Structure 1
Amino acid sequence: MSNAVVKTRTERTKWYCEARFGMFIHWGLYAIPARGEWVRSVERMPKEEYEKYMNEFDAENYNPKEWARIAKDAGMKYAVLTAKHHDGFCLFDTRYTEFKSTNAPCKRDLVREYVEAFRAEGIKVGLYFSIIDWCHEDFPHYGDRQHPMRDCEEYKSDHRNFDRYLDFMHGQVRELITNYGKLDLMWFDFSYDDMKCDKWKASELIQMVREIQPHIIIDNRLEGSAEDAGSIRTLNPTPYSGDFASPEQMIPPACICDEAGNPIPWEACITLNNNWGYSAHDKHYKSSKLIVRTLVECASKGGNLIVNVGPTIKGEFPEEAVTILKEVGKWMKENGKSIYGCTFSDYVKPEWGRFTQNGNKLYAHVMEEQVGAICLPKMAGKVKSMRLIKDGSEVKETFFWNLKEYSENAYFFFDCHAFDNYPLPDEKDSVVEIILKEE
């Protein structure tokens, strides 16, 4: 194993593995057609047609302080904003292109306002940066798997200079990590086919980033993608393998580990509805209950959850998103200690929910009503005390006569005087903090 790579990765990600919950924000010109962030690629939209949207980008109600408040109230500890997506439009003031927010009607450096607002709320700040760019003339057009003009013969040209594109792309990254103070996280997206690793001059890019901001956390997509985590899962990760794996729109079936079974940092990125960028007709939102349970699942497998919001062109979060995050925040305010700083438990997943653990504190996330007592498998004699963390009320261990045949387990009722459980204290997830006896 490349011990130096793993050691520095472990040091950098300490805060990240304690934070567990973050906010992704996909915002750009694609919020105007409002058909998702891939609209230009999906609809094979010509550059000239798409760039007209810049003339309408006024961000009239953009208030990152409000965004930061919503994130903080939801219990999120870090955030990532799309400084530039695949369409090439920049939310920051770059000298490398005129296709940027400071040239749009809003005439604002939206990234600068974002980092200042979120830092003020004590939220770690990250930036998303697409290493592909459908706007740049030297990025592959015809024949590329993703480019909007991939099927147009007229774009079949031998005059594109990819090295010139790389100078442009590296230059923009340097601007972001130099001009906006301390950044906590850099989210690169994405590699595919032969467009990965040395194709991006990834070694040079990472060396530059680490020299300027050695503490910054980086994802794994300079060599990986949502389809392949890359060498971060091997015993010899490359210097650009990233600090965390990034499964997308799914939760891994178990903790993500390297080939020797050692856990590695990971983060599931999911959307609140079905799109990353704002989609006016996409009302298929996940419930706050599902978000809470997904967050618990991630923490119980040693991972993070970053949930995406796609603001409207005006710079506002959709009402549905605000409502969901407010409900999640209420649960986190009462139960956050079962998430922050927690990881997987040595105890197997119970049938009624999940376990998370932080030292000798085991958190039982009870998600399903039970007939009879709630079973803590293989925990007989190991429980020191129990509390419902929502209100701190005592939960007493149960020794009813009908449980004696299965005495290797511990048991409890939420109401110690009941012979059967009443409906769960919290229908999203009722959390019992179990203090384990010292071995």
Structure 2
Amino acid sequence: MLPNLVKGQPAKPSPGKDLAALQQAFVDLRFGMFIHFNIPTYMDQDWADPEASPAIFNPTKLDCNQWAKAAKAANMTYGCLTTKHHSGFAIWDTKTTDYNVMNSPFKKDVVKEYVNAFRANGLKVMLYYSILDTHHKLRPGQITQKHIDMVKAQLTELLTNYGEISALIIDGWDAPWSRISYDDIPFGEMYTLIKSIQPNCLVMDLNAAKYPAEALYYTDIKSYEQGAGQHISKESNKLAALSCLPINDNWFWKTSFPSRPVKEPAKLVNDNIIPFNNAYCNFILNVAPNRDGLIDENAVAALKEIGKLWKHQGPTQKLPAADAPIIAHNMAKHQATNSSWSDDMWIMDFATDDDFGKPWISNATVKQPWFEVDFKYSRPFSAIVIAEAGRRPRIKKYRLEYYADGAWKPIVAGENTGKIKVHRFQPVTGERVRILIDAFDAPPQIAEFGVFNEK
């Protein structure tokens, strides 16, 4: 029997489904409620003091059923609660830290209250979790194995004790403001852990700002935070996606919220829900409960109005086929490179600098461009991803090769005309890998050349 299981919830997740089917099911949900509710609620801030006392967290009138009813009124299909935000306060009964809700005056597991209420109202359950944790000093330059173990233990609790979780929305990972890389807290290990406990739990990392829109880098669903300037292309998106926005001006509740207008329901419907749903994108609207643990009347009224203006029409259009997410460590990152002639301002090192905004660009006079990564010693790898820069792809035909036992050996001859060229193959072991470009319609420019040893 699993420990501390929420009463009435299954002890084991259902058998694993195909990822494409899970992505389709997520997009088909269309519209849900983000719920930013945590210790920042009591500080009039979105980023709380990491040393804030648990004594301030006391939602004396907490009613997660009210949240669920408000979501149903808007024809939402799921909720997602901030189990832990950037300052590290956990609003569930965790055994990993004393900095949690059970040591507050409230002394009740908010995650448990939330999942029970939303399921009772026929809504699916998702959870938000922050990798950045300033209370526990889980931040750049200070990360230890204990931090990695804590993240694993917390994710295990959340995925073991609360029944089936449809998705985890993870924040503060590989973001320019958190600066915690997928190597500091190893993404592949966490992804594998999540899927081993709940195979049908989608993993979403809020990382769309950094990575190209044409591929799933370190996420099952392409996520866009509008307030951070991340906007999906409603015309060209072909990936399962999520776009998020708060109904108020901020994510966490502020003392001004009850008296300030919320976003117009008609605008949320016509500028967000409908066009996003038509672009393979689910829309999640944040509604922040107040310090009593209730959603303010103006927000409740707006949700009712949304429900009058918009109805859930069932499944969306079928998602196009897509490559599986890239989840492994990029072995080429910051490795030595070489190439055919390129101007110094577009030198080859830019193709392995983990920055998609600065590409290697071949000199226009070179007729047979090539680019190479040198690991200095033999290493196994099983995938290569070439991300072209610019608005359109330029490379038309190419070959990938690896160097082993004193000779170059073929991997694949490619004619992938997309901007992101993903190649997965049986593992090979080599000390160098290269691309030979045989046909192009403009000087090739590679934003990032990734090499991965996928398990």
Following superposition, the deviation at residue 272 of structure 1 comes to 0.4
Asked if 1:341 is matched to 2:318, the reply is no
Q: Percent identity between the aligned chains?
A: 29
State how far apart, in whole Å, the 2-side matches of 1:170 and 1:268 are.
Answer: 27
State how far apart, in whole Å, the 2-side matches of 1:60 and 1:180 are.
Answer: 23
CA deviations on 1:380-422 (whole Å, 9 max, x unpaired) are: xxxxxxxxxxxxxxxxxxxxxxxxxxxxxxxxxxxxxxxxxxx
Asked if 1:233 is matched to 2:214, the reply is yes
Asked if 1:278 is matched to 2:258, the reply is no
Equivalent of 1:314, from 280, 283, 292? 292
CA deviations on 1:204-234 (whole Å, 9 max, x unpaired) are: 111111011001111134xxx252246x733
Q: Which moved more, 1:246-255 or 1:187-196?
A: 246-255
Following superposition, the deviation at residue 284 of structure 1 comes to 4.6
State how far apart, in whole Å, the 2-side matches of 1:85 and 1:318 are.
Answer: 21
Query: Do the aligned partners of residues 216 and 81 (structure 1) sit closer, same or farther apart at CA in structure 2, a change above 3 Å counting?
Result: same
TM-score normalised by length of structure 2: 0.61
Match of 2:427 in 1: none
Following superposition, the deviation at residue 300 of structure 1 comes to 2.2
Secondary structure of the structure 1 residue equivalent to 2:312: helix
CA deviations on 1:321-349 (whole Å, 9 max, x unpaired) are: 111001001223xx432xx323499xxxx
Asked if 1:133 is matched to 2:133, the reply is yes
Match of 2:304 in 1: 326
Pairwise CA RMSD: 2.2
Secondary structure of the structure 1 residue equivalent to 2:126: strand
Match of 1:87 in 2: 87
Match of 1:188 in 2: 170
Q: Partner amino acid for 1:286?
A: K
Asked if 1:266 is matched to 2:241, the reply is yes
Unaligned runs of 5+ in 1: 1-6, 145-157, 258-262, 346-439
State how far apart, in whole Å, the 2-side matches of 1:19 and 1:28 are.
Answer: 25
State how far apart, in whole Å, the 2-side matches of 1:226 and 1:167 are.
Answer: 26
Secondary structure of the structure 2 residue equivalent to 1:292: helix
CA deviations on 1:324-380 (whole Å, 9 max, x unpaired) are: 001001223xx432xx323499xxxxxxxxxxxxxxxxxxxxxxxxxxxxxxxxxxx
Match of 2:64 in 1: 64
Match of 2:360 in 1: none
Q: Which moved more, 1:101-110 or 1:242-251?
A: 242-251
Query: Do the aligned partners of residues 196 and 211 (structure 1) sit closer, same or farther apart at CA in structure 2, a change above 3 Å counting?
Result: same
Secondary structure of the structure 2 residue equivalent to 1:129: strand
Higher helix proportion, which one? 1
Query: Do the aligned partners of residues 161 and 10 (structure 1) sit closer, same or farther apart at CA in structure 2, a change above 3 Å counting?
Result: closer
Following superposition, the deviation at residue 246 of structure 1 comes to 3.0
State how far apart, in whole Å, the 1-side matches of 2:294 and 2:115 are.
Answer: 17
Asked if 1:254 is matched to 2:234, the reply is yes
Q: Partner amino acid for 1:271?
A: P
Following superposition, the deviation at residue 256 of structure 1 comes to 5.5
Q: Partner amino acid for 2:69?
A: R
Following superposition, the deviation at residue 198 of structure 1 comes to 2.2
Equivalent of 1:217, from 173, 179, 202? 202
Secondary structure of the structure 1 residue equivalent to 2:163: coil
State how far apart, in whole Å, the 2-side matches of 1:93 and 1:324 are.
Answer: 33
State how far apart, in whole Å, the 2-side matches of 1:32 and 1:23 are.
Answer: 21
Unaligned runs of 5+ in 2: 1-16, 320-455
State how far apart, in whole Å, the 2-side matches of 1:329 and 1:161 are.
Answer: 45
State how far apart, in whole Å, the 2-side matches of 1:253 and 1:344 are.
Answer: 18
Contact (CA 8 Å) 2:132, 2:180: kept in 1 or not?
Answer: no
Contact (CA 8 Å) 2:266, 2:309: kept in 1 or not?
Answer: no
Contact (CA 8 Å) 1:251, 1:298: kept in 2 or not?
Answer: no
Query: Do the aligned partners of residues 161 and 184 (structure 1) sit closer, same or farther apart at CA in structure 2, a change above 3 Å counting?
Result: closer
State how far apart, in whole Å, the 1-side matches of 2:225 and 2:67 are.
Answer: 25
State how far apart, in whole Å, the 1-side matches of 2:281 and 2:194 are.
Answer: 25
State how far apart, in whole Å, the 1-side matches of 2:265 and 2:290 are.
Answer: 21
Contact (CA 8 Å) 1:126, 1:187: kept in 2 or not?
Answer: yes
Query: Do the aligned partners of residues 72 and 190 (structure 1) sit closer, same or farther apart at CA in structure 2, a change above 3 Å counting?
Result: same
Match runs of 1:91-240 below 5 Å: 91-137=91-137, 139-140=138-139, 160-191=142-173, 192-193=175-176, 194-221=179-206, 225-229=207-211, 233-234=214-215, 237=216, 240=218
Asked if 1:37 is matched to 2:30, the reply is no
Higher strand proportion, which one? 2
CA deviations on 1:118-152 (whole Å, 9 max, x unpaired) are: 11111110000001101004x23xxx5xxxxxxxx
The ranges of structure 1 where at least 4 consecutive aligned residues each deviate by more than 4 angstroms after the TM superposition are: none
Secondary structure of the structure 2 residue equivalent to 1:204: helix
State how far apart, in whole Å, the 1-side matches of 2:266 and 2:130 are.
Answer: 32
Contact (CA 8 Å) 1:84, 1:90: kept in 2 or not?
Answer: yes
State how far apart, in whole Å, the 2-side matches of 1:229 and 1:304 are.
Answer: 19
Equivalent of 1:24, from 28, 34, 39? 34
CA deviations on 1:99-124 (whole Å, 9 max, x unpaired) are: 11111111100101110111111111
State how far apart, in whole Å, the 1-side matches of 2:202 and 2:196 are.
Answer: 13
Contact (CA 8 Å) 2:86, 2:172: kept in 1 or not?
Answer: no
Contact (CA 8 Å) 1:299, 1:342: kept in 2 or not?
Answer: yes
Query: Do the aligned partners of residues 202 and 256 (structure 1) sit closer, same or farther apart at CA in structure 2, a change above 3 Å counting?
Result: farther
Contact (CA 8 Å) 1:220, 1:246: kept in 2 or not?
Answer: no
Following superposition, the deviation at residue 162 of structure 1 comes to 2.1
TM-score normalised by length of structure 1: 0.63
Q: Partner amino acid for 2:249?
A: N
Contact (CA 8 Å) 1:274, 1:284: kept in 2 or not?
Answer: no
Q: Partner amino acid for 1:184?
A: S
Secondary structure of the structure 2 residue equivalent to 1:200: coil
State how far apart, in whole Å, the 2-side matches of 1:226 and 1:271 are.
Answer: 18
Contact (CA 8 Å) 2:30, 2:312: kept in 1 or not?
Answer: no
